[in-house]
Amino acid sequence: MIVVLKNGVSKARQDQLIEWFKGMNLGVHVSVGESSTVLGLIGDTAKVDLELVESLDIVDSAKRVSERFKCCNRKFHPEDTIVEVGGVKIGGGHFAMIAGPCSVESEEQIITVAKAVKASGASILRGGAFKPRTSPYDFQGLGGDGIKLLLAAKAETGLPIVTEIMSAADLPLFEDVDILQVGARNMQNFELLKALGRQEKPVLLKRGFAATYEELLMSAEYVMSEGNENVVLCERGIRTFEQYTRNCLDLAAVPALKTLTHLPIIIDPSHATGRRELIEPLSYGAAAVGADGLIIEVHNDPEHALCDGPQSIKPETFDVIARRSTAIRAAMTV
């Protein structure tokens, strides 16, 4: 960490600060410049609170040179992590196609969709049982009953399942779920993250819609530092001034995060924009920038169901996406 002191700081106060850093077992390298003095901190600065340092009245600014994330840092773990989900691999060259309905509604519905997406090449089934909704008056999902229906579809098709968990108190209901999803709104629900770090199932961690890359990685660190290293990251759009799409899908997050971390990163093109017609092209974009998988909402029986859930596509479209994504990934090797 580099700490730039303000002009005209007294020697006494400067020494007091240096002693404080030394008390944290850090080496301090002092460099006196023309207009300011710079301290270089040497050692494990992950525990130094950058905001606190910046807020000191004798400090002009501070800057981290090394990252704070350790468990997920590629520097300390250069090879890609491969996360296994019910026998399906994600990362390290393994591309996951995750599909299913927005909400689990009935046994017939979930089994129909599960069969359809399996036939089109999906390797994992998704479906919402606990649904985080902006309004308390919106449908909140079938809860535990929804999970039972997902398990029925798993029994029928053999597909592993992923579904969202909103509270550590619900963990017993997720015993047979293959990978636990943390939604964007809970990305910094640290109590939940710590609880998921103390159990063994893999975690699918979605980026909050206003979270930086570093914050996403620090949230992964909450899970991993408790012992669970099986984390899959997911970019699903960030909030900007543009209102034509619901969010802005940040595809640069994939190659950028891959330089920072060894964890797999997948893309959710369905929730990102809120516009069905953009799911297909953005899926291709995701494959092209190097994502490790896609998680897509697919609905059943579109002719008779008026309202299939927003952002869902038909199984036929999923079929095309699966085929072309494979071709794009092959194009990367020419």
Site for a second copy in 72-131 (CB under 8 A): none
Query: Is residue 22 involved in binding a second copy (CB under 8 A)?
Result: no
Length of the chain: 334
Choose the stretch contacting a second copy; rule: CB under 8 A; options: 15-23, 114-122, 149-157, 171-179: 15-23
Nearer to a second copy by Cβ, of 52 and 119: the residue is 52
Nearer to a second copy by Cβ, of 157 and 189: the residue is 189
Burial class (CB in 10 A: 0-12, 13-18, 19+), 153: buried
Instruction: Candidates 15, 47, 108, 119: give the one binding a second copy (CB under 8 A).
Output: 47
Nearer to a second copy by Cβ, of 87 and 136: the residue is 136
Q: Which x/- pattern over 248-287 shows residues binding a second copy (rule: CB under 8 A)? A: xxxxx-xxx--x------------xxxxxxx--xx-xxxx
Give the residues across from 261 on adjacent strands.
73
Nearer to a second copy by Cβ, of 87 and 333: the residue is 333
* Residues 26-45 close enough to bind a second copy by CB under 8 A: 27, 29, 31, 33-36, 38, 40, 42-43
Query: Is residue 310 involved in binding a second copy (CB under 8 A)?
Result: yes
* CA-based R_g, the chain, Å: 23
DSSP per-residue letters across 130-188: S---SSTTS----THHHHHHHHHHHHHH---EEEE---GGGGGGGTT-SEEEE-GGGTT
Instruction: Candidates 132, 143, 148, 151: give the one binding a second copy (CB under 8 A).
Output: 132
Q: How many residues bind a second copy (CB under 8 A)?
A: 110
| Rounded Cα distance, 319 and 321, in Å | 5
| Rounded Cα distance, 278 and 243, in Å | 14
Q: Which x/- pattern over 196-235 shows residues binding a second copy (rule: CB under 8 A)? A: ------------xxx-xxxx--x--xx--xx---------
Helices (H), 23-106: 50-55
Contacts of 157 (CB under 8 A, 6+ apart): 111, 114, 115, 118, 125
| The two three-digit tokens of residue 171, written as one number | 């963990």
Q: Which x/- pattern over 133-162 shows residues binding a second copy (rule: CB under 8 A)? A: xxxxxxx-----------------------
Q: Closest Cα partner for 72 from 81, 63, 64?
A: 81
Tell the smallest beta-carbon distance from residue 158 to a second copy (Å).
27
